[in-house]
Amino acid sequence: MGAPPSQVEQILDGRSAVPVWLNEIGGVTWQIGDGADREFLKVGPVHPEFQVFSDVERLRWLQTFVPVPAVLDAGVRDGVGWLWTEGLPGASAADPDLMSEPEEAVDALGRALRRFHDAVPLTGCPFTWSVAARGGAPDGRPIPALDPVVCHGDACTPNTLLARKDGRLECTGYVDVGMCGVADRWADLAPALMSLAWNLPAPADRSDWTDRFLRAYGIERNAEKLSFYTDLWNAG
């Protein structure tokens, strides 16, 4: 991860930038500054997983309901997109310091996703993340009965920010909401549960974190929907 590309030099204005995240499509997220005034600059190739102006639309719509980064600037040039935002309090839930107490982190993540689903209203949501919009059901299977909410769209562990408040880990914000839209709540729950295995150490009893996360979220396991939306996610 070298220096930022030339089209963002004006944004940096001589300030140093530290790369803090490299994604699977070759994009880099840079942190500019420290503390409460820090900013973030996401730079990457135009791709279905990084549609800059879709991100901007969703961030600006969501900010009324949940804590998301405020947009400072965004653009696309020569096939490269950038999204410049203000920072939020807290750290990614995948931060190693937070993962040192995985039980508490799982509880906080479950509560955080439920907060998102409860806080963002279906009425008036202009975005969809339906099965049809994602290319259809995996293997042509019947779509389970819909329990619609406004989904985050990428509710994996790193995309929730956490900080300690009054001795307890709590959500301070949500990032990477470029696929946010109306869908079944299990469309978010499935990747959230998969991501726990990717980002957290296994529980002491060598099981997984599913039941604990679902208890914190406040829902019973639905094996049919979990299987369906896991396969849909993995189908890409």
Q: Same domain for 96 and 171?
A: yes
Q: Does residue 25 belong to any structural domain of this protein?
A: yes
128 and 65 housed in the same domain: no
Note the pLDDT tens digit of each residue in 130-146. Answer: 999 999 999 999 999 99
Q: Is residue 1 in some structural domain?
A: no
Model confidence pLDDT, tens digit, residues 160-199:
999 999 989 999 999 999 999 999 999 999 999 999 999 9
Which structural domain range is residue 55 located in? 6-86
What are the CA-CA distances from residue 135 to residues 89, 150, 161, 188, 236 (Å)? 36, 19, 30, 17, 9
- Boundary of a domain, candidates 45, 61, 86: 86
Count of domains observed in the chain: 2
Q: What is the pLDDT of residue 22?
A: 83
Are residues 167 and 65 part of one domain?
no
Residues with catalytic annotation?
154
| CATH label of the domain that carries residue 81 | 3.30.200.20
pLDDT band, very low/low/confident/very high, at 3 (cuts 50, 70, 90): very low
Are both 33 and 115 inside the same structural domain?
A: no
Task: Judge whether residue 49 has pLDDT over 90.
Answer: no
- The answer to whether 184 is annotated as binding is no
- CATH number, residue 132: 3.90.1200.10
- The answer on 106 and 30 residing in a single domain is no
Q: Give me the DSSP letters along 47-110.
A: BTTB-HHHHHHHHHHHTTTS--PPEEEEEEETTEEEEEEE--SSEETT-HHHHTSHHHHHHHHH
* pLDDT, averaged across the chain: 92
What's the whole-model pTM score?
0.92
pLDDT band at 12 (very low <50, low <70, confident <90, very high): confident
Query: Is residue 159 part of an annotated ligand binding site?
Result: yes
Considering the domain architecture, whether residues 35 and 118 belong to the same structural domain is answered as no
Between these two residues, 3 and 91, which has the higher pLDDT value? 91
Average pLDDT over residues 197-209: 82
